[in-house]
Amino acid sequence: MLDVKKNLFAPMLVFAIGLAVAYGQGLSSNAQSRPLVKTDAVTYLFPEQVSVPAGKPSQVTLHFRIAQGLHINSHTPSDDFLIPTTFAIPEGSGVQLQSATYPAGTVMTLPIDPTTKLSVYTGEFIIQVRLVATAGNHLVQGKLHYQACDQNQCMPPKTITVAIDVIGK
Amino acid sequence: MKSFPVRRNTLVLGATLLILAIFAWAGWANWEYRRQEAERLLANAAQGELVPAPGGGTPQYISPLDGKPAPAFALNDLSGNKVSLASYRGKAVLINFWATWCGPCRIETPWIVELRQKYAAQGFEVLGVDTEGDDLKPDDKAGWVKATAAAGKFVAEEKVPYPVLLDGDAISRDYGGLDSLPASFFVDRKGVVVAAQVGLTSESDIESKIEKALAN
C-alpha cells in the first residue's frame, strides 16, 4: 500500500505543478485579451432562472436598471436616427423568443433644446418576453442593445448579455 | 527504516510548500502583468476629466492632449478621398467627433457650421469625424455603405460645409478613448491642441476655444 502511495506521489506532484503553472498562464492570457473595463449604463437585474412548460409559450418579465443620470432610447425613439432599445435571443440556444413587449418611453426634453421631445427609459424598466423552450436546462445568453446618453453627451451603442437559466419541464 | 515516515513527511511538506509557492508566484505574476497592462492601456488611452469652471460656469474638459501635438491621422471623407490633419498645418482646426445617433451632436452642429463661416477667412477650418462606435471591419462592405449613407444623410440635413471624415473609431484611442460624444479638439496653426471639450457646452464656449486656437 505504501509503495502504491510512493509511486503515485511523483506523478501527482508533477500534475499539481503543471496545474499551478497552467493556472498562472491561463489567467495571464485572459488578462491580455481583456478590453478596458467600463461601467455599463444598463444592468440586468433578474430573473436569473425561470422554469417554463416545455414547448409552450411562456411569459417572462425581465428587469433592468439604468445608471443614475443616464437615459436610453425607448424601443420607439422619437427620431429615426436614434438607436432603439432591443432584446434578442441568439438562435440555437434551445429557447425561442416569440415576442418582446417593451414599455412606452417617458417623454423627456433636454434643457438646452426644450423643443425636441425624446422617448426614453430611465431608472428601472422591464421587458416582457414570450419564450418557448424545449425540454431541458438552457443557459440563454440574451442580448440587450441600447444607446445611452446623459443631458450633454452620448455613449456609443452597446450590447450587454442577459444571462437566464431557462428550465423547460 | 524507522526514519522513512519522517523523510516522507518532509517530502510531502516540501512538495506542498513548493506547490503553494508556485501558486503564489503565478498569482503575483498575473497581478503584476495586469497592473502593467492597465498602466499601458491608461497611457495609450489617457482619459480627460471634467473640472468645474471658475464661477460655476460650464465644466471644462481637461484633455491629456492639451499642449501636445494633435495626433496625426488620414481618413477617407464621404467621397472616398483621403484627408490628413497634416494638410491643414498653418490653419486653426476644430476636430469634431460626432455620430449619427448622437442627439447633442445634432444640437451643436449648426453652431459649428455658423462659427466656421464666421472664422474661415481668418484661417479656421473644421474636420467633422464620424465616430459610430460600431467597430466596422475594413472588409465589411455592406456595413461601410450603410455607415457612409447615414453620415451623408446627416451632412445633407445639417448642410455641413466642411470635410466630414469616416471611421473616427480608428483614431479614437489616440484622442483619449472618446467614451462619449460629441468631443472636440481645438488645434492651433502649429498643430498643437490648445483646448478640448467632451459633451455639449454652448456656442459661446466653442467660439472662445476657436479664438484661442486662432490666437496661438
Amino acid in position B163: P
Q: Tell me the pLDDT tens digit for each residue of A127-144.
A: 999 999 999 999 999 999
| Residue B216: per-residue pLDDT | 75
- Of the candidates A24, A62, A35, the one whose C-alpha atom is nearest the C-alpha of residue A158 is A35
| Residue B137: per-residue pLDDT | 78
How far is A93 from A134, CA to CA, in rounded Å? 10
Q: Do A9 and B200 touch (CB under 8 A)?
A: no
| Residue A2: per-residue pLDDT | 47
CATH 3.40.30.10 fits B49-215, yes or no: yes
Q: Tell me the pLDDT tens digit for each residue of B65-103.
A: 999 999 999 999 999 999 999 999 999 999 999 999 999
| Residue A34: per-residue pLDDT | 31
CB A112 within 8 A of CB B200: yes
Q: Do B37 and A81 touch (CB under 8 A)?
A: no
Where is pLDDT greater, at A137 or B137?
A137
Q: What is the ipTM of this complex?
A: 0.72
Q: Tell me the pLDDT tens digit for each residue of A63-111.
A: 999 999 999 999 999 998 899 999 999 999 899 999 999 999 999 998 8
Q: Cα(first)–Cα(last) distance of chain A, in Å? A: 49
Under the banding of pLDDT at 50, 70 and 90, the label for residue B32 is: confident
Residue to mutate among B2, B33, B132, B200, with most A CBs inside 10 A, is B200
**Would you state the CATH architecture of domain A42-168?**
Sandwich (2.60)
Q: Which residues of A touch B41 (CB under 8 A)?
A: 36
| Residue A33: per-residue pLDDT | 30
Over residues B112-132, mean pLDDT: 96
Rounded to whole angstroms, what are the CA distances from A53 to A28, A49, B7, B114, B133?
43, 14, 62, 62, 40
Query: Considering only alpha carbons, which residue of chain B is nearest residue A27?
Result: B30
Over residues B116-122, mean pLDDT: 97
Over residues B127-132, mean pLDDT: 92
Place of cell 472588409: B139
Q: Tell me the pLDDT tens digit for each residue of B167-214.
A: 888 898 899 888 899 999 999 999 999 999 999 999 999 999 999 999
Place of cell 476655444: B209
**How many angstroms separate the CA of residue B23 from the nearest CA in chain A?**
6
CB contacts < 8 Å between A and B, how many?
A: 98
pLDDT at residue A35 greater than cutoff 80: no
Percent residues over pLDDT 70 in chain A: 77
Percent residues over pLDDT 70 in chain B: 84
Which of B105, B171, B187, B194 is flagged as catalytic? B105
Over residues B10-19, mean pLDDT: 89
Cell of A169: 419541464
Q: Do A32 and B33 touch (CB under 8 A)?
A: yes
Where is pLDDT greater, at B133 or B105?
B105
Under the banding of pLDDT at 50, 70 and 90, the label for residue A25 is: very low
Q: Do B34 and A31 touch (CB under 8 A)?
A: yes
pLDDT at residue B5 greater than cutoff 70: no
Instruction: Tell me the pTM.
Output: 0.73
B132 is catalytic: no
Dihedral sign computed on CA atoms, order A131, A134, A138, A141:
negative
How far is B193 from B71, CA to CA, in rounded Å? 9
Over residues A119-128, mean pLDDT: 97
Mean pLDDT over each residue of chain A, to the nearest integer? 84
Percent residues over pLDDT 90 in chain B: 56
B77 is catalytic: no
Mean pLDDT over each residue of chain B, to the nearest integer? 86
Mean pLDDT lowest among A37-46, A63-72, A130-139, B52-61:
B52-61
Q: Do B134 and A9 touch (CB under 8 A)?
A: no
